[in-house]
Amino acid sequence: MNGPRSERSPDESDGTRGRGGSEGDQTAERRSRDDPTSRRRRKSRTVRGSIRRALSADGGIALLARDAVTVVVIVSILGGLLFAVSGIWPPLVAIESPSMEPNANVGDMVFLVDDDRFVGDGAVDGTGVVPADRGAGTDHETFGEPGDVIVFEPNGDASQTPIIHRAHFWVEEGDDWVAMGDPEHAPSSATDCERVSSCPAAHDGFITKGDNNNNYDQFSPDGVSDVVKPEWVVGKGALRIPWLGHVRLAFESALAVSGAAVSLSAITGAVAFASTRRRNA
């Protein structure tokens, strides 16, 4: 005769296994949440969800941010295209004086290109610039007259406002450029090289003149610049856009005025603060 034997009912046994299975599932779930790969996936889903909400937003800060990003992207693309064509930055300059009238007027915007791009026939070797005396023989024109219009730093000084004038002819070191030039573009007091401080030429370069000016830039005492070295040339004028430069000039003026106003407010505030401290002392 067998001794007493304890047996579990089927329901009790299944219940125990169920509890054990449930605890195992919870442990596996916790391990899954703690797994680095799972955390990265959850973070990625959160980021994608935030981006989708921002892109589909109809108002508020999200809409403002979306519009700002769109503008930045468009401006960046346009700027990249302009730089790809121009080769210099910034590629746009505004005409600020009437020295190039009537071919380039105050407020016009000029698109510049590097001097080694779109080189015309008759360019000076190593420069890519066609002076007016050579352009007249090759039909190379810029803004209605022979030769290239160049933007250059006067006397090579980068701190000075660049000049946009036409290159008239090329001289080499030691040349009597006064005798080489057109007497109509010389003041009556500068009839020969001895009376001009920049003559003979101290170095190779260009003699320049504004289309609306009477005299070459290199005449003293109010000369715009010495003979323009090739390395002083910032770029060449390629395209003129009438009136668009007024927008840039107005914007720069507004920035200057607002900057002065901010500075004045800061000074006024500092003085008022100092006065208050003295009264309270």
SS (H, E, C) 13-36: HHHHHHHHHHHHHHHHHHHHHHCH
- Average pLDDT over the chain reads 78
pLDDT score at 222: 67
pLDDT score at 33: 53
pLDDT, tens digit (0-9, with 9 covering 90-100), for 204-255? 999 999 999 999 999 976 679 999 999 999 999 999 999 886 776 665 556 5
Residue 42 confidence (pLDDT) above 70: no
Nearest CA-CA partner of 211 in 104, 95, 93: 104
* Residues 96-106, mean pLDDT to the nearest whole number: 95
pLDDT score at 2: 47
Q: Label residue 275 by pLDDT band (50, 70, 90).
A: very low
DSSP 8-state class, residue 92: E
Residue 265 confidence (pLDDT) above 50: no
* Distance (Å, whole) CA 147 – CA 166: 7
pLDDT, tens digit (0-9, with 9 covering 90-100), for 160-217? 999 999 999 999 999 999 999 999 999 988 889 999 999 999 999 999 999 999 999 9
Residue 52 confidence (pLDDT) above 60: yes
- 0.75 exceeded by the pTM? no
Angle at which helices 60-86 and 36-55 pack, to 10 degrees?
A: 90
Q: Are the CB atoms for 151 and 235 separated by under 8 Å?
A: yes
Nearest CA-CA partner of 89 in 233, 230, 235, 232: 235
pLDDT, tens digit (0-9, with 9 covering 90-100), for 2-38? 444 444 444 444 444 444 455 555 555 555 555 666 6
* Distance (Å, whole) CA 178 – CA 262: 50
Q: Label residue 50 by pLDDT band (50, 70, 90).
A: low
Residue 263 confidence (pLDDT) above 50: no
Residue 75 confidence (pLDDT) above 90: no
Q: Label residue 97 by pLDDT band (50, 70, 90).
A: very high
